[in-house]
Amino acid sequence: MDIKCPKCHSENPDTKQFCADCGTRLISPKDIGVSVTRTMETSVEELGRGTTFAGRYEIVEELGAGGMGRIYRAFDKKLQEDIALKLIRPDIGADRKTIDRFHNEIKIARKIRHKNVCGMYDFHEEGKTLYLTMEFVRGEDLRSLIHRMKVLPTGTAVSIARQIAEGLSEAHKLGIVHRDLKPGNIMIDKDGQAKIMDFGIARSLLGKGLTGEGMIVGTPEYMSPEQVDGKEADQRSDIYALGIILYEMLIGRAPFEGETPFSIANKHKTEPPPIPKKIIPQIPEDLNKLILRCLEKEKSKRHQTADELVAVLLAVEQELPTTDRALIQVKTKIRTSREITVKFTPWKIIISAAIVAVLAIAIVAVFILFKPARGKIDSLAVLPLADLSAKKGEVYSVDGIHDALINELTKIPSVNVIARQSVMRYKDSKKTIPEIARELKVAGIVEGSVVQAKETVRITLNLFEGRNERRIWGPKSFERNASEILSLYGEVALTIAREINAQLMAQDIENLTQKLKVKPKAYELYLQARSPEALGSLPIQMSLKRTLDLLQQAVEIDPNFALGYAWIAFTYRDMASVASMPQAEAFDKAREAAKKAVSLDETLAEAHSAMGLIAFEHDWDFGRAETEYRRATELAPGRNIISLIHYLTVMGRFDEALALVKREAESNPLEPIYAAWILYMARRFDEAIDDATRFIQLNPEAWLVQAIRSVCYSFRKKCSEALAENKKILSGSASASSDPNLLFYLACSYASCGDRKKTDEMIEAIKKTGYLEQDPASLAVIYSQLGDKYMAIAALKQGFESRSASMPTLTCDPLLDPLRDDPGFKALLKKYGFKN
């Protein structure tokens, strides 16, 4: 009996395991028990070419069918992009619990943003039909490529395996395991780049009602021993499957074969794999060892992480001779040159070819002579915009427009955009573009201006290659009525992204084209509240009250303005820290505003960041704080990482914090003050001194960093250096008499070095700031260094009782180390649930 291929529908003898035309695994009626790709009797409604589905997706062609349903190439009319559309079988969709689990898994899987992972967009329901939308990849799957080529060249196989491992690495870092990795789930695009598909789907199918005959999750040829035993898969299960795939690319078949799925699965548990080098002696020994290690029965003996596997594959790849690094030739539906030229005589072909060759050489020569090669633009800095308006600040704060543009550009995952704190240093700067690019370590620089009138806003921008100041694009102007400016930022960011050939997925385009849902007047007030220019040089307490007033006006105009509520929460929190409002009242109001922000927009990073601050600083609910901080960082990595760094440091997770600092430094290279502070908190004082010194060389007026260095000097018994540092700070810093943080570090430095007179002067200066009314516990660090344990513990007790926001940080500060063994100190920590 012939078997119909589920993908291309061609007929195949029932003796064959794979389709002769496209290489898809065939489902025989005798197959029972284990194949995830087996199609059940119930089929999904077929869609014809040109059909519009869900009012949005125009069907271009059917790509195939499998265990979940049919998959189509479709044109998304909203995004003006081709996407892959997968319709879910009705029998799967009938199980509500499975669909709920499926929906949750897709939400997790769509967080993976990597060039070697096929983007997962969303999970929808149209009538009774459930469907997935995904990135459409032009090319062919790896199963088809292996079937067509029989055996892949070693260099090609290693390159594909490395790309797969790099994609897995990104997923595993997010805690996502594929569980059904196989050649059919890997696409090779037209450029030879591997892309993993279907993350999140295998786990979603582990539900009741889907584990009956023929539906155990996993494909027998690629299942790890632990999966065969029904145990939970982890990242090492994916590494096992990748070992099988690499074996198959090199040998032309999987290591374990059998008559039934059960017999194949059982061999994973009981039989050693055939040694690749014994089958093909030309396989390098290091590659042979790599494959066998991936295929260890005990997962503790395999490569433990995808990063580790990437490193080994890179080493193998570098040792291969150049001649062994074959290009991947992907099969497409484009007509071949032979099909096009068979109608011409050989003489005509020769003449035509000669003409084409001459033209090609001429074009290339002109291109080389008149258009120098451009470097890859994968990092950008948007310099402060010049306000060329006749009346400054006519409609919006120019700084607010600048901030909004940067925020939109950070939505492009493939481009590192420098944070506003770093680029604002170049406002009115005389430095050249190459100098700025070199200091910020970016490939591209955006500069421009804003002209505002009563009814319009016009932004004009230029894009330069940083290394040589060559104009890539511009001047380009974007003009809107004041009431429509919110639609402008995403358009500008999308234009820049396309100009620099940034890697954009459909979801990225949708994010950039979504207009911020807020009334223009409310957004204008929000920008004023966030603008230092609008607030002028008011004292901090008056500035915060002015900020709060502007934000409250904004949410009165637009009660659905989630971002406005989030910043109201931040403002109340700041008011608690500078004695503008009692702690309990301020945090209650902050919590109310943050909850409102989350209820209005669960995907707003700032709302979760505010909830995290409240949980950390006031509720002392550290588990919830981390959850909220992580959520904020996932939603907007470029804007919410500092709070997470601070949290990890206070929790004693210094290596994690330093790793994030390194990441933050890429987007905010001129503001990495946390590095020295983390090293200080980790008691790595010499490293903290070195890091602070490097930073101060770039930023001579970084007084707080100098104060941290001074304390580190005192801990290393270098009091002459510490006292010299303090003298420099006091004579150079305009805020030395009013900044409580600075004063506390100075007081502790003097106390550690035994200068009681200067310590008392600092204590009096701190009292004058009013800070001790809100945070009496802060004196504990000074008394601790003076050796007055009684006063130190009394101050801490006041702080705990008043729920001072500084307590989580204070209790792990090195300045309190002299109290660590004191029974009174230990009792306080235990009472309030803090670790010593």
Percentage of the chain exceeding pLDDT 70: 78
pLDDT digits (tens, 9 = 90+) for 589-609: 999 999 999 999 998 889 999
The residue that leads in pLDDT, 452 or 396, is: 452
Average pLDDT over residues 402-425: 83
Q: Report which DSSP code applies to 59.
A: E
Which pLDDT belongs to residue 677?
A: 92
pLDDT digits (tens, 9 = 90+) for 272-295: 999 999 998 889 999 999 999 999
* Domains in the chain: boundaries: 38-135, 139-324, 339-370, 379-516, 517-636
Are the CB atoms for 508 and 413 separated by under 8 Å? yes
Close Cβ partners of 460 (under 8 Å, ≥ 6 residues apart): 448, 449, 450, 451, 474, 475, 476, 477, 478
pLDDT digits (tens, 9 = 90+) for 663-684: 777 777 766 556 899 999 999 9
Most confident of the ranges 420-429, 559-568, 732-741: 559-568
Pick the closest to residue 401 from 382, 380, 422 (CA basis): 382
| Average confidence score pLDDT of the chain | 80
Q: Which range (29-33, 141-145, 737-741, 762-766) has the least confidence? A: 29-33
CATH code of the domain made up of 379-516: 3.40.50.10070
Q: For this structure, is 180 an active site residue?
A: yes
CATH class belonging to 139-324: mainly alpha
575 pLDDT exceeds 50? Answer: yes
How far is residue 199's CA from residue 120's CA, in Å, rounded to a whole number?
A: 8
pLDDT digits (tens, 9 = 90+) for 129-185: 888 888 888 888 899 889 888 889 899 999 999 999 999 998 888 788 888 899 988
Which pLDDT belongs to residue 559?
A: 95
- Token pair in block for residue 302: 């395999």
822 pLDDT exceeds 70? Answer: yes
Which pLDDT belongs to residue 183?
A: 93
Most confident of the ranges 119-123, 479-483, 507-511: 119-123
Q: Which range (158-172, 203-217, 730-744) has the least confidence? A: 203-217
649 pLDDT exceeds 90? Answer: yes
Which of 82, 141, 180, 739 is flagged as catalytic? 180
- Beta-bridge mates of residue 72: 62, 85
How far is residue 112's CA from residue 102's CA, in Å, rounded to a whole number?
A: 16
Q: What's the fold here for domain 38-135?
A: Phosphorylase Kinase; domain 1 (3.30.200)
How would residue 206 be classed by pLDDT, with cut points 50, 70 and 90?
A: very low
pLDDT digits (tens, 9 = 90+) for 326-373: 455 555 443 333 232 333 344 343 444 445 445 555 544 444 444 445
Which pLDDT belongs to residue 587?
A: 93
Which pLDDT belongs to residue 429?
A: 85
- Looking at residue 318, its amino acid is Q
Superfamily of domain 517-636: Tetratricopeptide repeat domain (1.25.40.10)
Q: Which range (137-141, 575-579, 619-623, 644-648) has the least confidence? A: 575-579
Q: Is the link from the previous residue into 475 a cis peptide, with omega within 30 of 0?
A: yes
How would residue 557 be classed by pLDDT, with cut points 50, 70 and 90?
A: very high
- Residue 194's SS3 state is strand
Which pLDDT belongs to residue 367?
A: 42
Which pLDDT belongs to residue 16?
A: 57
Global confidence as pTM: 0.55
